[in-house]
Chains A and B, each alone.
Chain A
Amino acid sequence: MTPFRRDRPKILQRRQTSHRSRTVFALAILIGGLFTAAAGVAADRLRVSLVSGSDRPGGDTDRTLEKLKRNLEALHPFDCTLILQNRNDEGFDRIGALREADVALFFVRRKTPPPETLDAIREFVDSGKGLVAVGPTSHAWENWPTFDVDVLGAKYGGPDAEERGATELRLRPHPIFHGGEDYATDKYAYKYSELAKDVLVLMEASEGAKFTPIAWTRERKGTRIFYLGPDRKEDFDQISYFRIVANSIYWAARREIPGTGTRIHRTWMPNAYPSSLAVGFPSGLNFCFDPTRGALAYAWDGDYVDRWPNVAGKFPRDAGVQGQIFFKAPEQPAFRPEDAAPAKIRFRGYRVENNLPTFNYEVNGLAISETISPRPDQSGLNRHFRVETSEQPFRFRPDDPRRVTVQAGAAAWVEGQLQLPARSVIEFNVFLPRKDSP
């Protein structure tokens, strides 16, 4: 049983939604256009290159991407550049725009670009920027035939020999699908195998009784990659498909997908007490807060947790941490009373304000509010503590005293520990760098 499978045949769902969705789409563009015009140009617009290079019969990607450009720019703070195929030399006009792009979307099939063009593409793919690959892009480069395995992390196995009938889709919970959960298709053409271990399949399509991957994410050399198999004109005409494409551009750029914000789930997390909190910021900084231990358990750099194992069957498994752990809490609790009594911890709950969570808990009567936020420069996490001691003085034992700054209150350093006097309120910050820094 798959919890996210819909119980209507997909073909039916598509037929029900397609006309309506197109109408809504047109309306959304109109309203979105007005809104954007009124709001003016935001400072942090994303630069997006749309690379067109497929002339498969019936699929003019130039026109498809031109339309996509108009819609993306109407509804999102994106500046899009079309990079169109040059039919004379198999190259692309304006390929240099890739250098300036935050994200590039490729919709290309079987090209043999000149060496310097291919170099520019290689350079982009290795740049740590965002990559969205649509449909035939897995086999885009005749002179880079291992692009599918090297970059996308899956081996292209050719088009489907038989026309499929109704296709049922299975979506894994992921913010890329925000607002696009009702995307449906009745036909899907490409087959993939030998998925790399770091590929996270987000969408599968039914193939008889089995399911085959048709969309996934991967991170390679710091580049966030999203592959999206469905590529027909009818797909691009669905508002839900458009939302998935737009969301994937934000995701690939490590930007917050509008309407999603900080993600927080209490669930089964690895190496923490059962029922801990997973928190993910759009920028790719994530952490696990363990309410039973009353502590930040660990933090990682990458994507949020994969919650699929939590919900995929009768026996839930731990959520999958998607990235590199850069902080692990020491065994010893950070807060301890001066009389070294065993810590009695009570979790009081949490609050989310401006997308930042504040955890409230008590250690032997010491009231702690801890707000964890990403640093504005994304260099790491900041733990802001506000503690209220009662009759008993406390100590805070940091991993590295150099990363602690006292903000308010009469705290003193004693033997590398922060002494918190009785009956006082103290605020201090602890910085957790994203990667090892000097």
Chain B
Amino acid sequence: MIAMAKKLVLAACLALLVPNVHAGYRLETVTLPAAMSPEVSAVAFSPEGDLYVANRSGDIWTADRTGRNWRRFASGLHEPLGLLVDSARVAYVVHRPELVRLEDTNGDGVVDTFTTINDHWGITGNYHEFAYGLRRDKEGNFVGSLGLDSGGEQEFRYVGLTRGPIVKDKVRNEQQWSLVPYRGWSFKVTPAGEFIPWSYGFRQPSGIGVSPDGEIFSSDNQGDWVASSGLIHHQKDHFYGHPSAMKWLPGGPTPFASAEEMGRARTPPAVILAHGALGGSPGEPVWDLSGGKFGPFGGQIFIGDFSKLVSRIVLEKIDGEYQGAAFPFSRDPALRQGNLRMAFSPDGVLYVGQTSRGWGTGDGLQRFVWDGKPPVEIHSIRLLDRGFALEFTVPLNAADAAKAEKYRVKRFRYYYHEKYGSPRIDEAPVPITSVLVSNGDRRVELTLKEMKPGFVYEFQMESLASASGEFLKNPTGFYTANRLRNGERFTGPFTQPIMAPAEAAEVRGVDVEAGKLVYRTYCVACHQEDGRGGGAVAAAANFVSDRTRLGKSDAELLRTIRTGKLETGMPPFGAVLADQQIQDVLAYVRDAFDPQRARGR
């Protein structure tokens, strides 16, 4: 009997973690208690190192460091999206209606006292009124942010029952809007409970972070007036581009004459997360302060995305402003959707909380554990006077690393406009004029023919290998060069392209290899590496088992790629990909997943 019980305990422990092994980092799934709805909406660690997890249903559960022995710590909250745990008895939460202090006053392990610290923002009942957080700055102020309301008036059912003054005027054709105060703002709340509006012009700043030196950052999500998601550095009273939040300026909206003028007044994202390649809906930024326990990326930022992706960001200060590079960190096939909340445990494990209600499937808690082996990755990209310095986590094959053709650099930017998202504009390759390898074959300096501010520089190096012959796990990086080292910055036009379309286009035949890259960047999240679908969008076509999918004509398939397919969740790529890329990706899909057709071509 005892032996059987031991076996059962062992089996239970093994069942708790379902590992998925890949080089460098192991993804594990943490089993949540059956009584807890798995829609994880906040993850935090107490100073003692215990794990706390909040969910959309309003509970907070806690477990020990191993992710076991769960118990309910609090309940009854209204969609808590931010959590700070001060001790086993005191925590702070930002949920829809307020910033609230939770206390277990009688020490029975369950919160009994909910004290409102501040509720200075409006609520109308609109589903999109998310309140995001929660962090503290160096002075001990709480930091959070408020999402805009969704568009349709039919979604406002609390007629006559809205908290805060409601202003329905639109500022400049926005789709998501700020109906009540401070929607589209970030804020601070002093320990005494005073509300300080901090910066404005956000759409869905769905995760706040405070850097080790006390600076506030958040993501913002692609949509109207937000061309591509990005990481924002929040500076007091700065305007970040979405006009609706301007309603709550003391003197009302700034009377900009044009979108172009707004573009000039706006502070751009410190780092753009290129739409598609680096997801589409990022969550909260967290800093790796594990002192090497999580591998070679100490001090860097990790940010999850709604798609099956976690990205990595390296910041630097150029001319007094933050900007930097972003990379995919993991697209582990076992990673779920909805990676909007993350936290590092004291022992350097990255916990990823997932919720995807209404937008997909995938809820729960997973974690990345470093196995102690250096991953083969681009460590960072930094700006030089006439190019970029790329650092790698391991020495490269020296002969290859010195070859310019091993690197492809191009640049692009986006419109700043009222439309939802933006295609890439002014996209063009940038010739490399010299390559310098140094630092024990771990550093490569690329000198470019020409440097321009206001562009995202995209680096591709899929054929580059380490000294031991291993290819880079993620051979892509994106550097947002708002400014150059000489202080030059982009001054416009923000609403139009600079280059004539002919200049930007590369005219050539169909390229299956280029198509493979496009597929791996834009298509893989849903259709999966093996073409079997069922990824981020459950209804994504399975090219392998469903022969009818690729049985259609090229014209038909090209149309689907360009215009999308609402019923299956296939987004339109006509505004995202160049026509050449669309042709290339179709060629790759046929080649990889439809061998019969490829042979006959």
Contacts and interface: CB of A to CB of B under 8 A. Distances in A.
The 8 closest A-B pairs by CB, nearest first: A314-B358, A274-B125, A182-B34, A275-B97, A181-B34, A349-B115, A266-B78, A351-B113
Nearest to B362: A7
A20 interface: yes
Contact of B358 (A1, A263, A292): A1
B21 interface: no
A88 interface: no
8 contacts: A3-B38, A7-B364, A23-B4, A23-B5, A268-B125, A274-B129, A291-B97, A310-B57
Interface in A276-303: 277, 291-292
A266 B97 contact: yes
A3 B115 contact: no
Interface in B20-57: 33-35, 37-39, 56-57
A198 to B, nearest CB: 24
Interface stretch (B156-164, B309-317, B494-502, B518-526): B156-164
Contacts of B256: none
Nearest to A13: B34
Interface string A150-182: 000000000000000000000001000111011
Interface stretch (B116-124, B139-147, B434-442): B116-124
Contacts, number: 121
B119 A347 contact: yes
B8 interface: yes
Contacts of B357: 1, 3, 311, 313-314
B15 interface: yes
A182 B124 CA distance: 36
Contacts of B420: none
Contacts of A3: 37-39, 56-57, 357, 363
A145 interface: no
Given A3-B57, A274-B124, A291-B97, 5 more contacts: A181-B33, A291-B119, A315-B127, A316-B127, A352-B112
A16 B15 CA distance: 9
B490 interface: no
A292 B112 CA distance: 21
B78 A179 contact: no
A314 B124 CA distance: 16
Contacts of B155: 315
B114 A349 contact: yes
A85 B373 CA distance: 69
Interface string B98-130: 101100010000001111100100011101010
A351 B124 CA distance: 26
A222 to B, nearest CB: 29
Interface residues of B, number: 52
Contacts of B161: 271-274, 292
A194 interface: no
A264 B111 CA distance: 12
Binding site secondary structure of chain B: loop
A350 B163 contact: no
B446 interface: no
B423 interface: no
Contacts of B123: 273-275
A19 B78 contact: no
A350 B97 contact: no
A377 interface: no
Contacts of B361: 1, 7
A263 B163 CA distance: 25
A350 B359 contact: no
A274 B127 contact: no
A172 B132 CA distance: 27
Interface in A1-33: 1, 3-4, 6-7, 16, 19-20, 23
Contacts of B163: 273-275, 292
Interface of B: 4-5, 8, 11-12, 15, 33-35, 37-39, 56-58, 75-78, 95-98, 100-101, 105, 112-116, 119, 123-125, 127, 129, 155, 157-158, 161-163, 356-364
A322 interface: no
Contact of A349 (B8, B96, B116, B362): B116
A341 B324 CA distance: 55
A353 interface: yes
A313 B58 contact: no
A274 B98 CA distance: 12
Given A3-B363, A275-B97, A313-B357, A264 B5 contact: no
A314 B126 CA distance: 11
B90 to A, nearest CB: 14
A404 B113 CA distance: 28
B569 to A, nearest CB: 12
Contacts of B5: 23
Contacts of A16: 15
A265 to B, nearest CB: 5
A52 B476 CA distance: 69
Interface-central residue, B58, B155, B362, by most chain A CB under 10 Å: B58
Interface of A: 1, 3-4, 6-7, 16, 19-20, 23, 173, 177-179, 181-182, 240, 263-268, 271-275, 277, 291-292, 307, 310-311, 313-316, 318, 346-353
B112 A353 contact: yes
B162 A274 contact: yes
Contacts of A23: 4-5, 8
B363 A7 contact: yes
A4 B35 CA distance: 10
B93 to A, nearest CB: 11
A19 B105 CA distance: 39
Nearest to A315: B127
A118 B5 CA distance: 48
Given A272-B161, A274-B161, A350 B114 contact: yes
Contacts of B100: 349
Given A3-B37, A181-B34, A349-B116, A266 B58 contact: yes
A306 to B, nearest CB: 13
A177 B35 CA distance: 8
B37 A265 contact: no
A311 B125 contact: no
A30 to B, nearest CB: 12
Contacts of A313: 357-358
B583 to A, nearest CB: 35
Contact of A273 (B11, B105, B129, B162): B162
B108 to A, nearest CB: 11
Nearest to A274: B125
A286 B102 CA distance: 23
Count chain A CB atoms within 10 A of each CB in B39, B129, B357 and give the residue with the most. B357
Contacts of B34: 6, 181-182, 240
Contacts of A291: 97, 116, 119
A3 B35 CA distance: 12
Contacts of A347: 98, 116, 119
Contacts of A263: 76
A310 B33 CA distance: 21
A229 B163 CA distance: 44
Contact of B113 (A19, A272, A277, A349): A349
A311 B57 contact: yes
A247 to B, nearest CB: 12
A274 B149 CA distance: 14
A80 to B, nearest CB: 27
Contacts of B158: 273-274
A352 B34 CA distance: 25
Nearest to B123: A274
A220 B96 CA distance: 37
Contacts of A4: 37
Contacts of A348: 115-116
